Structure formats: C-alpha cells, structure tokens
Amino acid sequence: MPICAIYARVSDESQVKGESIEHQISFCREIARRRSSEGVGAWETPPSLVYVDEGISGTTLVKRAAVQRLVADARSQRFDLVLFKGISRFARDTVDALVMLRTLLASGVRVVSIEENFDSLRDNAEFVFTIHSALAQAESEKTAVRVRMGAVEKARQGKWNGKPPDGYVLNKVTKHLDIDLQFAPMVREVFHLYTSGWGARKIAAVLNERGLRTKRGNMWTQRAVIRMLTNPAYQGDVTYGRREKRPVVSTDSHWAERRKATTWALDPTQIVVTPNAHPAIIERETFARVQSLLDSRRRLRGRSGELHLLSKGLIRCSCGSSMIVKYNSRGHRYYRCVRQADSGRATCRQPFLRADEVETVVLEKIRTDVLQPYVLDGLEKTLNITDSTDPLCTEQTYVNQQLQRLMRASQLLLEQLAEGHISEHQFVHLNAEYRERMAGLKMRQEEVMRSMKRLCHEHGGGQLVKDAMRQVLSPGQAHTRVTRQFLDQLVERIDAHGKDLEIRYRFKPPPSGSVLHDGDNGTTDGHSSI
C-alpha cells in the first residue's frame, strides 16, 4: 500500500483562523481514499506525514519549515508520494516549484496536485508542472498588485494599513488611528530625550534599565528608537510606500541565491502621504528638528555593504548574538555585539574587538592549526609556507605589501578628514589617487594568482594546496571574499569571550596546534582557543 504525504499551506492570518488548512487536508485525504495506485491499493495517509505551513507566503521556500521537513523525509524514503490541493498551495515561484519537483523526483517520490490534475508519472511531467507553476506565480503577482492598490487607496483616505505604531490604537470603525493614552507619554519622552542630546542607543539602554518595554512587550533597541523617531505617523500623517522589497544581488559563492530585501523606495512619486489624517502626538516643529538632528549626527562612514573577514555570523559574542563591524570617529574598525549595539551594555558586557588585530590573530592561528602535517592523496605532506623563493610568490608578497601600505595611507587620510585637518575636497582628490593605484595592484594580484594556479596545476595537487594555503591564509590578504569562502569551509564559528577567542573548526585539528591559551596546550574535538 503506497504511503502518501500531504502538504497544506495558508498565507495570512484570516486563513489561519479559518478552516482553510482543515479543508485542504480533508480534501486530500478524501481523494487519497477514493483513488488507487494502479490497482495496488488505496493510498495510506498517516497523520505524522501531514505537513502544514500556517501564515507563510507561498513566494518563498526558505522560511517554510514544513517544506524543509518534507524534503528531508522524502530523502529518507518515508513516503512514496506527496499530495497537495493545488500547485499554488505548494509554491508560487516557478523556479522554487521546479527545484522542489526535481528534488522530490530524485528522491523517488511521486508528486500529485489535485486541482491541476497533475501526476508526475505522466509524460512531460516537468513541462506541465512548470506551466502550472508559472500561472500560479502570475496570479500571485496580480494579487500583490491588487493588495497594494487597495492599501494605497486606504492611505489616501487617511486610513491606516497594518499594525498601529506604538502610541496609537486602531479605531476598528473608522480605520483611523487614535492616541493610546497609556503609551503616548513614552513616545513624547523618547523625542524629548533625543532633542536634549541623547543618542538612540543611550535612550534604549535607559528605557531597558527602567524596566520599560515596547507596546508589544519587547526590549528597546537602537533600531526601535530610530524607527520611532523617523515615523511621520507621530506628527499626524499617514505615509505609505516608503519601503519596498527588491531582489538582492547574489554573491560569488551563492550566485544562484534569490533573496529580497526591504529597502527605502527609490521613486518618491510612489509614496502616498496624507497629512493630518489622525491626532498628532509630536508637534511638527519637534518632528522636523529630530529629523535635522538625525541627519547631522550620521557619521561619515556608516554601513558600506562591504564584506568583512569575520562578519555575517562567523564571529559570535558569548551572549549568542552575532558581531558586526562598527567604525569609531577615527575610522578604525571594531567588532561589536549586535545585541549590545542595539540595546546598550545593560544587555551585554562584551568589549569591542579591534578588527584588524582580531583578523590577523585568527588567520595566524588557523594557519598554524591547518598547515600541520597534512594527508593529501594518501601521502603525508608537510606544507611549509615560510621558505618559498618562487618568483611568483615573491611578487605576490610585494603586491600585498603595497596594497597594505596604500590602505593604511587611505585610512590615515580618513582620520585627517575626521579631525578637520583636511577638507572634504582634498580627501576626495587624494583618496581617488590611492584607490586608482590599489585597483591596478589588485588587477596585477589577480594575474599572479592565475599564474600560480596554472603552475600549481602543472606540478600536482600538493603544490596547489600549498600555494592556496600560503595565499589565502596570509594576514592582509586583499581578496577578502576569497579568504572568507575558505574560512567558511574550515571554521564553523568563532566565539568571543571578552578578549579571548575560541575557534570551532569543522574538522579535528592536529594535536600539536590545537590549543594555545594562557600557556596551556592540549587537544580538543574541533576547538581551538587563542
């Protein structure tokens, strides 16, 4: 008797509270009861093989836990076929749908959709499935347009879309905002503190220390304070369309990645503003003054979008949060706990870590642990990285040194600008020259790397690994992205405990270089301390 799995999904809160999930499951079970599989017998639908995603959009598979469990169980051969009410319930993105179909078919699972009368056992199954999923995606896009147009019309009438901001409650009759008398005083206090010279991080820390929470019961963060200070709703306006979702450019290591990020709208004509739509908590003059202060307090160097060697979750604080890169007033980079940056030192006492020093120490430690006697192609080889006299290696070292010198000069130039010793015009002119020279050096560095790869290929895999280790794990490596990709293969994460660092490898390091901490040495299962 074939074992049948059932997948069901609803995408909004109204469906979650209704009977849509139960309807989909009962419908699939009734079809499974009536149908047979080529005379073998009725389809069995165990309760443990019913996969449900509630309140999750059909346009993404990454956030759908039930889909991930479905794939894992399919690979484990827990069922013979999967049944769902319609392809639109399964996926509304054509690429995602096709990837899922191929994954299930590769696992030996039959795929059946009731509404489209689709069965993967038939000829041209992939072609037919792609057509149906494309139609589902088109319908999803039309639905999104209809929802947006409805929201735009509500905003033009002064009605509120979504959850009301802190300090307001939604009038269920008029759909306009009314002042929340209990929470509005805290909003006024936040604005007053900011205009009195307090920073957003300090305001969040003080509110948390006083035991105050947001309207939803969460701790205050720097981001929450900034979001409140920049929300035009507090001066009585309804503003819709300030933020939009756009595709994110994929990285070299994840070139097939298809993510969307919420960013500020680029076209101001698409933003709907209805002034005086509801009672104001903050006077317009005060709100305008806060916006002016926010603009003036923004630092010269904010988030640049560049990839730092240990950012994006590789180095983590002892409290469990990620660590991000922040610049001080002199332009120096530091790794700092995200929770501390958002909510203040009351939530985490982790000290700042100077980025260039930490990165150098980590690379040297990893190089020590990794470049021990290493088994390659069944032979014991010692990868010595210090005594090479190869001309290409010598040139590569020279190029690296020149790049470091220019980067230090550019950093010094930035510090002089921050301290007022040079004008912004002088900085732009001089820094452009540095950047042009660095671009030329990076091009030469890439040429040398290609030559080294060809040479290593001619001399075998051992030489390739040797030169790759030498190049990628050297402090000051200009190709941060390449080094980071290499670290992702070797390191699970790096834990920061105050000034001490613990490297958690994806392998067990050799005993001779596994632990170096406070004069001790020994072995660990994939861990190494600095």
Q: Are residues 286 and 214 in the same domain?
A: yes
Asked whether residue 505 is assigned to any structural domain, the reply reads yes
pLDDT at 515 over 50: no
Q: Could you tell me the CATH number of the domain that includes residue 279?
A: 3.90.1750.20
Residue 13: band (very low, low, confident or very high) from pLDDT cuts 50, 70, 90: very low
Q: Are residues 182 and 113 in the same domain?
A: no
Q: What Å distances lie between residue 73 and 4, 79, 109, 126, 329, CA to CA? A: 12, 8, 10, 22, 52
More confident residue, 11 or 65: 65
Per-residue pLDDT, averaged over 74-82, amounts to: 91
Q: Are residues 175 and 282 in the same domain?
A: yes
Q: Are residues 9 and 148 in the same domain?
A: yes
pLDDT per residue as tens digits for the range 280-291: 999 999 999 999
Q: Could you tell me the CATH number of the domain that includes residue 87?
A: 3.40.50.1390
Residue 381 pLDDT? 41
* Domain extent at residue 440: 391-466
Q: Are residues 356 and 500 in the same domain?
A: yes
pLDDT per residue as tens digits for the range 131-151: 888 888 888 788 888 888 888
Last residue of a domain, one of 126, 152, 178: 152
Least confident of 37-41, 100-104, 321-325: 37-41
Residue 463: band (very low, low, confident or very high) from pLDDT cuts 50, 70, 90: low
Q: Are residues 451 and 482 in the same domain?
A: no
Residue 1 pLDDT? 76
Q: Residues near 72 by Cβ (< 8 Å), separated by ≥ 6?
A: none
Residue 510 pLDDT? 56
Q: Residues near 433 by Cβ (< 8 Å), separated by ≥ 6?
A: none
Asked whether residue 257 is assigned to any structural domain, the reply reads no
Q: Are residues 460 and 447 in the same domain?
A: yes
pLDDT at 254 over 80: no
Q: Are residues 448 and 489 in the same domain?
A: no
Residue 509 pLDDT? 61
Asked whether residue 43 is assigned to any structural domain, the reply reads yes
pLDDT at 378 over 50: no
Q: Residues near 118 by Cβ (< 8 Å), separated by ≥ 6?
A: 87, 111, 112, 125, 128, 129, 132
Residue position matching structure tokens 């500020």: 264
Last residue of a domain, one of 129, 152, 175: 152
The CA distance from 112 to 128, in Å, is 12
Asked whether residue 51 is assigned to any structural domain, the reply reads yes
Least confident of 169-183, 198-212, 415-429: 415-429
More confident residue, 387 or 437: 437
pLDDT at 157 over 90: yes
Asked whether residue 507 is assigned to any structural domain, the reply reads yes
Residue 513 pLDDT? 40
Per-residue pLDDT, averaged over 326-330, amounts to: 75
Two structure tokens written together for 458 = 């001619």
Least confident of 10-19, 98-107, 191-200, 394-403: 10-19
Asked whether residue 22 is assigned to any structural domain, the reply reads yes
Asked whether residue 500 is assigned to any structural domain, the reply reads yes
pLDDT at 448 over 80: no
The C-alpha angle 343, 344, 348, rounded to 5 degrees, equals 95
Of the candidates 376, 351, 348, the residue with the CA atom closest to the CA atom of residue 464: 376
Asked whether residue 193 is assigned to any structural domain, the reply reads yes
pLDDT at 325 over 90: no
Residue 520: band (very low, low, confident or very high) from pLDDT cuts 50, 70, 90: very low
Of the candidates 253, 449, 251, 487, the residue with the CA atom closest to the CA atom of residue 362: 487
More confident residue, 262 or 120: 120
More confident residue, 339 or 265: 339
Last residue of a domain, one of 449, 466, 483: 466
Longest dimension (CA), the chain: 87
pLDDT per residue as tens digits for the range 47-57: 999 998 876 55
Share of the chain above pLDDT 90, in %: 16
Per-residue pLDDT, averaged over 511-519, amounts to: 40
Q: Are residues 530 and 447 in the same domain?
A: no
Q: What Å distances lie between residue 370 and 34, 305, 349, 473, CA to CA? A: 60, 30, 32, 10
Residue 347: band (very low, low, confident or very high) from pLDDT cuts 50, 70, 90: confident
More confident residue, 490 or 46: 46
Two structure tokens written together for 45 = 């639908």
- Counting every residue written for the chain, the total comes to 530
Residue 410 pLDDT? 76
Per-residue pLDDT, averaged over 109-123, amounts to: 86
Residue 376: band (very low, low, confident or very high) from pLDDT cuts 50, 70, 90: very low
Least confident of 113-127, 152-166, 385-399, 476-490: 385-399
pLDDT at 368 over 70: yes
Q: Are residues 92 and 229 in the same domain?
A: no
Question: Based on the number of CB atoms within 10 Å of its own CB, is 408 exposed (0-12), middle (13-18) or buried (19 or more)?
Answer: exposed
Per-residue pLDDT, averaged over 434-446, amounts to: 79
The CA distance from 298 to 229, in Å, is 14
Residue 307 pLDDT? 66
Residue 524: band (very low, low, confident or very high) from pLDDT cuts 50, 70, 90: very low
Name the residue type at position 158.
Answer: G
pLDDT at 477 over 70: no
Q: Are residues 135 and 87 in the same domain?
A: yes
Residue 43 DSSP one-character state: P
Q: Are residues 224 and 75 in the same domain?
A: no
| Total of domains in the chain | 4
pLDDT at 20 over 60: yes
Residue 303: band (very low, low, confident or very high) from pLDDT cuts 50, 70, 90: very low
pLDDT per residue as tens digits for the range 269-281: 788 899 999 999 9
Neighbours of 448 (CB within 10 A): 21
pLDDT at 519 over 50: no
The CA distance from 97 to 474, in Å, is 43
Looking at every residue in the chain, the average pLDDT score rounds to: 77
More confident residue, 451 or 383: 451
Least confident of 198-212, 360-374, 484-498: 360-374
